[in-house]
Amino acid sequence: MQWPAPPWPPRSPGPSLEALYHLIREGVLPYHAGVSLRRVLIGLGLATGAGVPLGLALGYFPSLERITAPILQLVRTISPLSWMPIAVIALGIGDRAVIFLIAVASVWPILLNTASGVRHLNRNWLWLARSVGASTPHILIHIAIPAVWPQLFAGLRMALGIAWVVLVPAEMLGVSSGLGYFLLDTRDRLSYSELMAAILGIGCVGLLLDAGIRALEACWRRSGEGRA
């Protein structure tokens, strides 16, 4: 007995767009997108929470960067997906492992951009700050952080892209919701129009997230004209 061949490759975008419409209307895609978004945002939040202070420290203290550079480069070059088995063993199947993978993947652009921004600070700003009595924490808070915002935003945009790319394989780690899971599910059901719709959905949500970051950056620039 021969199984009927799946309708692949699709001959027109019609069925995929139709499936996309139904998936949105029935709330299936928004539900999975919402779950994925929550994971990405938590992962990005963790990456920012770790990457910004570490980047500030590495940029401000060149000796610290020299000492840690080999370790950081070693860890950075390991594919984030290589951590999958370790994440599952350490954190179990579920949200925590997915969020860990997203955070591990997206911390690098944030950390490296922040460190680079601090390294290239105007040296005179540092002299100025010290001449008016600012301590090192004051300099980091009042000079380094505001000065590295543009690099931090660029790092965040890159991190978001990476997080969104890592999300799909990460959500294949035995979770029962999220866009990655849904994609796998449509493949298993041989529902290729829904699969294409899910891929389109992933792209659209990624685009919206990037637009959100850019809007945030534009808002920040407008809040202080000097940054323009």
Q: DSSP per residue over 2-36, as a string?
A: -PPPP--S-S-SHHHHHHHHHHHHTTHHHHHHHHH
Interface size with another protein, residues (CB under 8 A): 22
**Complex with another protein: residue 128 or 190, whichever CB lies closer:** 128
Q: CB of residue 123 vs another protein: minimum separation in angstroms? A: 10
**Closest approach of another protein to the CB of residue 140, in Å:** 13
What is the per-residue binding string for another protein in 104-143, x denoting contact by CB under 8 A? ------------------x-xx-xx-xxxxxx--x---xx
Q: Which is nearer to another protein, 22 or 138 (CB)?
A: 138
Q: Burial of 135 by CB count in 10 Å (0-12 exposed, 13-18 middle, 19+ buried)?
A: exposed
DSSP labels, 195-218: HHHHHHHHHHHHHHHHHHHHHHHH
Residue 139 near residue 130 (C-beta atoms within 8 A) = yes
The alpha carbon of 165 is separated from its chain's Cα centroid by a whole number of angstroms, namely: 8
Stretch that binds another protein, among 83-91, 146-154, 189-197, 207-215 (CB under 8 A): 146-154
Q: Any idea what DSSP says for residue 172?
A: T
Kindly provide the b/e burial profile for residues 137-176, where b requires at least 16 CB atoms within 10 angstroms of the residue's own CB.
eebbeebbbebbbebbbbbbbbbbbbbbbbbbbbbebebe
- Alpha-carbon distance of 77 to 112, in angstroms, equals 13
Contact with another protein (CB under 8 A): which of 46, 57, 81, 147? 147
Q: Between 4 and 133, name the residue whose CB sits nearer to another protein.
A: 133
Window 188-217: contact mask with another protein (x via CB under 8 A): ------------------------------
Comparison of 188 and 225: residue with beta carbon closer to another protein: 225
In whole angstroms, the minimum distance from the beta carbon of 128 to another protein comes to 5
For residue 139, the minimal CB distance to another protein (Å) is 10
Residues of 54-82 as b/e, b for ≥16 C-beta within 10 angstroms? bbbbbbbeeeebeeeeeebeeeeeeebee
**Out of 1, 12, 73, 225, which residue is the one contacting another protein (CB under 8 A)?**
225
Question: For another protein, which residue of 149, 165, 172, 210 counts as binding (CB under 8 A)?
Answer: 149
Residue ranges of E strands in 63-217:
none
Nearer residue to another protein within complex by CB, 9 or 137: 137
Q: Which residues bind another protein (CB under 8 A)?
A: 122, 124-125, 127-128, 130-135, 138, 142-143, 146-147, 149, 224-228
